[in-house]
Structure 1
């Protein structure tokens, strides 16, 4: 059951989209939202080449940057609190100092689910937007996470990438335990050139969905191109509102979450990705 959502607060456009998505999710499941903002002082004050005698200037410059960033964070947290009150969403706000990925992972121990945009900006445009924090958290996966690229159309249709490995089985199980499958129609997708093998693997997932009272059907896709591309094409075809992934399986996710395919999934998916392993 979903009780508390850990929402990553940052200055990116993707972060704003993730906030809207989180508020809708919180209202739907009557969950509390823990908004987490991180003051990234390790990056803001990182050593840089400087001329002889320039250390005093560097200290002053660092202090000014930290003060400016702190001001932005204060505004971000104030806006978060205001919107939560307007949306009648139960909330807590937390500011932490340190490396964003590490601090967010530690904060996530207080919640059931992490939600963040597909890119983040903790430096308020000092260095542009980045997906490094997203990749770090997806790799460590201290809690299930939803990476939000855009607000999806509500079709109640979910694609579950299922290769029969333990990671994809865990992802589906956690998705069901959090009750995110309630009222949804799940498509359990296996990319396989052997239809019989695919059918046998999918049957296990269908039985699990049945035990949770969730409507589901199986789909076997032939390996015409990469697994990631196949998943995205099928997701677009049936107008899925989310894709469920186990992030480090032996076949499916090795293809999806390493190298160019990883970047393609995070960049090109038009719907949120639920990631757990």
Structure 2
């Protein structure tokens, strides 16, 4: 069976950090994987008074630094969990620079990342870029579980829904999910297309790939493309009682702006369950 050897989880000073860390720890313990919690937030700018000779007034150049209160909250969250019995975890931190780029670099050396969804109501996480999860996904290429707001647990991920398209993104997500798919009790494979013949061949091929990797008992769901793929996926996941949704993350950057595909955007913003994605 496929294994996970290293898990990297994002930690910040926000209110959802503990749930995210708990999920990552349970996942690492299940696979006996190394678990690293990486503190990464955007620096804020503070004025630094500098006397100007002859003027009597200080100039105020800007200095970027990490909010010490955010770091204290994150460290306290980490220490509470690390102090409890369970799988060991290690603390790492980004001390300056772009948190997205730094986290993505660390992610290159992990089998799986665990990221949180942006919560506009969480003032304690305001120093995390609102597009942090999707930007890290696109920058690193490493698969990641993006957790919902609130309780992020999914237990043993007994029921997994895979949204399949014959694309690089979907294939990367599928391969990243293999350790969990091999241990799931139910695996559901969905593909929606207007071309029934091509759809059948597509599902046959990916089903055979999964069987070669010891994933059995695959249930197939197919049909014409819905008007809103993202919403349809969430409705199907709820109806199946899925613990985890697996799908590609589609997007690109344009003029410094991150542009996500419609289904990726809907799922990232609205999914009530963890989603394993890859670019």
Give TM-score, length-normalised by structure 2.
0.80
1: CA distance, partners of 2:28 / 2:144 = 14
Q: Quote the residue 1:94 is aligned against.
A: 92
Structure 1 residue 190: deviation in Å? 0.3
1:198 to 1:54, Cα distance in 2 relative to 1, 3 A: farther
Q: Give matches, 1:107-118, under 5 Å.
A: 107-118=106-117
* SS of the residue 1:102 aligns to: helix
User: Are residue 79 (structure 1) and residue 77 (structure 2) matched?
Assistant: yes
Query: RMSD of aligned C-alpha atoms?
Result: 2.9
1:151 to 1:38, Cα distance in 2 relative to 1, 3 A: closer
* SS of the residue 1:163 aligns to: coil
Native 8 Å contact 1:148 1:272 kept in 2: yes
2: CA distance, partners of 1:160 / 1:231 = 9
Native 8 Å contact 2:13 2:125 kept in 1: no
- Which consecutive unaligned segments of at least 5 residues does structure 2 have? 49-54, 252-258
User: Are residue 55 (structure 1) and residue 43 (structure 2) matched?
Assistant: no
Q: Quote the residue 1:270 is aligned against.
A: 272
* SS of the residue 2:108 aligns to: helix
Cα deviation, 1:46-74, whole Å, max 9, x if unaligned, reads 99xxxx95534x66xx58xx47x235414
2: CA distance, partners of 1:87 / 1:138 = 31
2: CA distance, partners of 1:75 / 1:170 = 34
2: CA distance, partners of 1:246 / 1:76 = 30
Native 8 Å contact 1:192 1:221 kept in 2: yes
Structure number with the higher strand fraction is 2
- Which consecutive unaligned segments of at least 5 residues does structure 1 have? 250-256
1:259 to 1:166, Cα distance in 2 relative to 1, 3 A: closer
Cα deviation, 1:160-190, whole Å, max 9, x if unaligned, reads 11112232122212221xx121321221110
Structure 1 residue 273: deviation in Å? 1.0
Native 8 Å contact 1:35 1:93 kept in 2: yes
* SS of the residue 1:44 aligns to: strand
Q: Quote the residue 1:253 is aligned against.
A: none
2: CA distance, partners of 1:138 / 1:118 = 12
2: CA distance, partners of 1:26 / 1:248 = 27
Matching residue within 67, 70, 78 for 2:68: 70
Native 8 Å contact 1:23 1:84 kept in 2: no
Structure 1 residue 88: deviation in Å? 2.1
Q: Quote the residue 2:172 is aligned against.
A: 170
Structure 1 residue 127: deviation in Å? 4.0
Structure number with the higher helix fraction is 1
Most deviating of 189-198 and 201-210: 189-198
Q: Give matches, 1:1-277, under 5 Å.
A: 1-38=3-40, 40-41=42-43, 43-45=44-46, 53=57, 55-56=59-60, 66=65, 69-97=67-95, 98-119=97-118, 125=124, 127=126, 130-149=129-148, 150-152=151-153, 154=155, 156-176=158-178, 179-184=179-184, 185-215=186-216, 216-248=218-250, 258=260, 261-277=263-279
2: CA distance, partners of 1:46 / 1:191 = 54
